[in-house]
Amino acid sequence: MARNSKRSGLRSASIRNKKDASSRSVTGIQLSAKATKTHQESRPTRVRLLKKMLEKSDDSLGNAINEQAIKKYSAPAKTLQIRTVVNLARGRNVFLLAGTGYGKSRIPELYYNLIPKETNAVVLVLNPLDALGDNQVLEKTRAGFTTINLTKKTFNPEEAEKIAAGC
């Protein structure tokens, strides 16, 4: 189920992995009429995204995100991945519940690509299990990201300083 705050106008949507996985669109991602907001209606956050991306409408931003996904992964992003990243970019509250293998792990990567590299941004991903966190760290490290699986054992003032510095 995908859901965000009522202000953004998205209604909950069921995920049908088989259907959604086969209904990828390379171009022309259309957000629902209720979800299509202009960038002026987004909430300001302290996250600085690429200005050229923020100036786009939700549909144009979605298309740009999809084009980046095609370049990086040689496959288009799923519509729900794109909608989630667009809403995150607009500062909207988002809750995404999707099954194993849907591609939730790609969402922080797509979002991170909207942030200027010189900001040394940190994207925090919460995992409910240590083993899942270890797998995610391995996957993201292989993809070229700086990562750490913070647990009771690994979180300390030194690690906090590294994170604050964007290292």
- What is the distance between the alpha carbons of residues 145 and 142, in angstroms, rounded to a whole number? 7
Instruction: Enumerate long-range contacts of 35-39, CB under 8 Å, 24 or more apart.
Output: 35/8, 35/9, 35/10, 35/83, 35/87, 37/8, 37/9, 37/90, 39/90
Strand ranges for 29-130 from DSSP E: 94-96
Where residue 18 falls among pLDDT bands split at 50, 70, 90? very low
Helix (H) or strand (E) holding 134: helix 130-142
For residue 46, the model assigns a pLDDT of 56
Higher pLDDT, 82 or 38: 82
Mean pLDDT of the chain, nearest integer: 73
Q: What is the mean pLDDT of residues 59-81?
A: 94
pLDDT digits (tens, 9 = 90+) for 117-147: 888 788 877 777 777 788 888 888 888 888 8
CA triplet 85, 44, 10: central angle to 5 degrees? 45
Enter the pTM of the model. Answer: 0.60
Q: What is the mean pLDDT of residues 34-40?
A: 46
Residue 160, pLDDT > 80, answer: yes
CA triplet 79, 102, 70: central angle to 5 degrees? 50
Residue ranges per structural domain of the chain: 2-120, 122-167
Q: Which amino acid is at 21?
A: A
